[in-house]
A and B are shown apart, each in its own frame.
Chain A
């Protein structure tokens, strides 16, 4: 029996099924949703839960946001929230926000160390670092909003006075770089504070998401929900907590009938399952990924690998910029003569696996 036939058999026999992974293009997102619908599966393609935390916060209190080009062209103060994780996830961020037209003040608010400060100083002249507990950032912003500065006061030399006098402030952060137990609540407080901030002056949140933002968008227009859904014969249900990969795994790790379908468009050789989790997992797994990872070895005959290509590298793909606004066609960049034999786009595999 070929791997494809075996995978089909598993999809037929197993229950429950969850589809998860790094789904980065419009086509693969559509394929994942169709696939999950066909197999009445759970879906959670939010990589580390960060984008879902933002969505959930947004659905509670709303949001006030700004896009990348606007932030660069309009803001005279950029407040960068978080810590060094931000630049490790988005190393080009200072360059991307630099404009020939404007020289904004940069306020690094949180736990930014010297390497991060240096990276910002390499692009901007006026950089201030204010140390603050990350968990307290929303309260700090809200409390500053209570003050105002009138006229051309010479007191504008301090970063806070510049912040208060700014025409437009961009609060720059990335949900995946905010490592807090209660991240969703932190985002809620930040969004509420910014909404109030806009009563007197203008400000917006430039929230950078991962490449999983595209899945959120496609999932939204196809199901009405931004992710973590469960398909049943009767329709689709939004389960922002219960359909999370983490929770699903916790509940089904000992179930030999469980099946994880891991889809990876990124070429990342690591699995969503840590080695420790793989050892305790009793169910099956189908990996649609570029590399055969170690988890496959650990699961042995309970794992099937269907070799895929990298979206936007091996073939043209429509992918979303990290501010979730601009959907670009990312053209094939891998010019190697020999195509990867037996590798196919993840959406092609999912099409072949349809019942």
Chain B
């Protein structure tokens, strides 16, 4: 099967130029054997052609997402009740839509790959099942470690780093994940012992261990396993005024190892000003600019109703007083982590919410390298993923940004430096932060750009001065070279892939775990390990993400 895309402007993180592409048996080529028959040709004059979008941090699978659904059936609206924005974009039926809607709506924006960022080991099989039901998207997950009591106790006992690295490798392999996430290192466990906060160098209430030590062990394990995606870190003081200090301490704690700071917007607050809440985006952005081993995703806030879901039960419990509607869920889970679901409404006329909105944008605008700052709303925490076209417009147009800024709480306009940041993102930079950057960060060597040999997962947008409209309505989307979406219609299904890492680790750890695991969890390894066959069927395959060279 050969498809010829002609006349389009091909934009990826490296280039923006008009050229033809051939989609040959599911892969991109710039030339073909002239004797081969072309099956279809699409004239894409006045179109922008990009690789399929990659969302590296979106909560789309697992028990916490379902808990939020159970908590909020009253927020679900039927299609006839959902509203359309000025660009004709239908709002989601719920802050946590069902799987089919998630897949459809991502594809409708030209996204083809998404990552669930917090897979609890005990719940990983369920999360994979759920993601298998999300149509159109290749999916992967980051395994949640750093509050698993077994690991904490091993660190306290002073087991060698080699054992910890082997454990992390085994866990990734057994739960079929492609990265390691740590949420409030040690803090979720500390909350189970009634600690209400745990700073980077503060000792756990029961175990002689600090978050710093946990971060170091995990970051080292990620290095030794040669995982491409760095340790994915949710810092200690989510959403707490003044948390910039502990965020910077966290980034320092890994001692120069690579690190990805997630939903960074929530982690760069000061406590200045009349409301005791201020932006420290400048300090974080400068840190990122000067430290090439650090990347971030934004966690941009979008005004409206949503639900925050996080493994950080400690801070979610503290946030329950802000819940709208007034109901929340908390869980302490299996000596591995926790979970909290707090419904939340971001209001444009509220000072803190308005400033949060500016802080996310500030980070994007101040960090110079778009290959290290990724566009996310931490769906659904900051808002729905369907707001990406709107956020792209905010980044690409100073005037549009300011038109929204003018509507914020008056005090925000006094304290925010946003008006001084006149940078406007180019399409190439948007492609970097939504495609090639995440691909590089994750070791997805088969996608993210339009280079020869890449998967033919491609979004074609009609060029439009209103980029929000442009990114909301792709003319067509290809997956593996097949048109799967065109002019508002979903066409034939395509193969889905689960992205996973297969690191090399010391298999001897299994002997240790065969004894330790049942003691901790009450069931054996046989029930724990997910076989790769479980992720396969007639329309599902697995794909290995690249490891770093040794």
A-contacting 9-mer, from B263-271, B330-338, B442-450, B472-480: B330-338
A to B CB contacts below 8 Å, 19 in the list: A58-B329, A59-B71, A60-B327, A63-B71, A70-B334, A73-B335, A168-B192, A202-B193, A204-B331, A221-B66, A221-B99, A224-B93, A224-B97, A234-B79, A235-B79, A328-B125, A328-B523, A329-B125, A329-B527
How many residues of chain A have a CB within 8 Å of chain B?
A: 52
Which single member of B70, B194, B521 contacts A69 (CB below 8 Å)? B521
Per the bound structure, the CA–CA distance linking A304 and B530 in Å amounts to 37
- List residues of A whose CB falls within 8 A of some B CB: 26, 30, 55, 58-70, 72-74, 96, 100-101, 167-168, 195, 198, 201-202, 204, 216-218, 220-226, 234-235, 237-238, 240, 318, 320, 324-329
Is there contact, CB below 8 Å, between B99 and A222? yes
Q: Tell me the nearest residue of chain A to B191, going by C-beta.
A: A202
Q: Tell me the nearest residue of chain B to A26, going by C-beta.
A: B129
Per the bound structure, the CA–CA distance linking A252 and B133 in Å amounts to 33
Which residues of A lie under 8 Å from residue B74 when comparing CB positions?
A: 59
Q: Mark B418-453, 1 if CB is under 8 A from A, else 0.
A: 000000000000000000000000000000000000
Which single member of B70, B520, B522, B530 contacts A220 (CB below 8 Å)? B70
B69 is an interface residue with CB less than 8 A from chain A: yes
Q: Tell me the nearest residue of chain B to A70, going by C-beta.
A: B332
Q: How far is the CB of B22 from chain A (nearest CB, A)?
A: 37
Is there contact, CB below 8 Å, between B333 and A325? yes
Which residues of A lie under 8 Å from residue B71 when comparing CB positions?
A: 58-59, 62-63
Is there contact, CB below 8 Å, between A59 and B70? yes
B158 is an interface residue with CB less than 8 A from chain A: no
Per the bound structure, the CA–CA distance linking A237 and B81 in Å amounts to 13
B100 is an interface residue with CB less than 8 A from chain A: yes
Which residues of A lie under 8 Å from residue B335 when comparing CB positions?
A: 69-70, 73-74
Q: How far is the CB of B178 from chain A (nearest CB, A)?
A: 20
B76 is an interface residue with CB less than 8 A from chain A: yes
Which single member of B72, B123, B130 contacts A325 (CB below 8 Å)? B123
Is there contact, CB below 8 Å, between A62 and B194? no
Q: Tell me the nearest residue of chain A to B125, going by C-beta.
A: A327
Q: Mark B152-165, 1 if CB is under 8 A from A, else 0.
A: 00000000000000
Q: Tell me the nearest residue of chain B to A168, going by C-beta.
A: B192
> B70, B317, B534 — which one has the most chain A CB atoms within 10 A of its CB?
B70
B7 is an interface residue with CB less than 8 A from chain A: no
Is there contact, CB below 8 Å, between A221 and B125? no
Per the bound structure, the CA–CA distance linking A217 and B76 in Å amounts to 17
Q: How far is the CB of B341 from chain A (nearest CB, A)?
A: 8
Q: How far is the CB of A317 from chain B (nearest CB, A)?
A: 12
- In the complex with contacts A70-B335, A221-B133, A328-B70 CB distance below 8 A: no
Which residues of B lie under 8 Å from residue A96 when comparing CB positions?
A: 522
Per the bound structure, the CA–CA distance linking A30 and B74 in Å amounts to 23
Which residues of B lie under 8 Å from residue A221 when comparing CB positions?
A: 61, 65-66, 69, 98-99, 130, 133
Per the bound structure, the CA–CA distance linking A129 and B97 in Å amounts to 45
Which residues of A lie under 8 Å from residue B519 when comparing CB positions?
A: 100-101
Per the bound structure, the CA–CA distance linking A238 and B521 in Å amounts to 36
Q: Tell me the nearest residue of chain B to A324, going by C-beta.
A: B63
Is there contact, CB below 8 Å, between B126 and A327? yes
Is there contact, CB below 8 Å, between A167 and B194? yes
Which residues of B lie under 8 Å from residue A216 when comparing CB positions?
A: 70
Which residues of B lie under 8 Å from residue A167 when comparing CB positions?
A: 193-194
Q: How far is the CB of B513 from chain A (nearest CB, A)?
A: 15
Which residues of A lie under 8 Å from residue B523 when comparing CB positions?
A: 326, 328
> B71, B72, B123, B333 — which one has the most chain A CB atoms within 10 A of its CB?
B333
- In the complex with contacts A73-B149, A235-B78, A62-B125 CB distance below 8 A: no
Is there contact, CB below 8 Å, between A224 and B73? yes
Is there contact, CB below 8 Å, between B125 and A72? no
Q: Tell me the nearest residue of chain B to A67, going by C-beta.
A: B334
Per the bound structure, the CA–CA distance linking A227 and B326 in Å amounts to 23
Per the bound structure, the CA–CA distance linking A68 and B332 in Å amounts to 10
Q: How far is the CB of B73 from chain A (nearest CB, A)?
A: 5
Is there contact, CB below 8 Å, between A325 and B73? no
Q: How far is the CB of B327 from chain A (nearest CB, A)?
A: 4
Is there contact, CB below 8 Å, between A67 and B133? no
Q: Tell me the nearest residue of chain B to A217, going by C-beta.
A: B66
Which single member of B79, B194, B522 contacts A202 (CB below 8 Å)? B194
Is there contact, CB below 8 Å, between A72 and B522? yes
Is there contact, CB below 8 Å, between A70 and B333? yes
Q: Mark B93-137, 1 if CB is under 8 A from A, else 0.
A: 110111111000000000000000000001101100110010000
Q: Tell me the nearest residue of chain B to A170, going by C-beta.
A: B332
Which single member of B76, B126, B330, B522 contacts A225 (CB below 8 Å)? B76
B328 is an interface residue with CB less than 8 A from chain A: yes
Per the bound structure, the CA–CA distance linking A327 and B523 in Å amounts to 12
Per the bound structure, the CA–CA distance linking A145 and B77 in Å amounts to 38
Per the bound structure, the CA–CA distance linking A198 and B321 in Å amounts to 13
Q: Mark B191-202, 1 if CB is under 8 A from A, else 0.
A: 111100000000
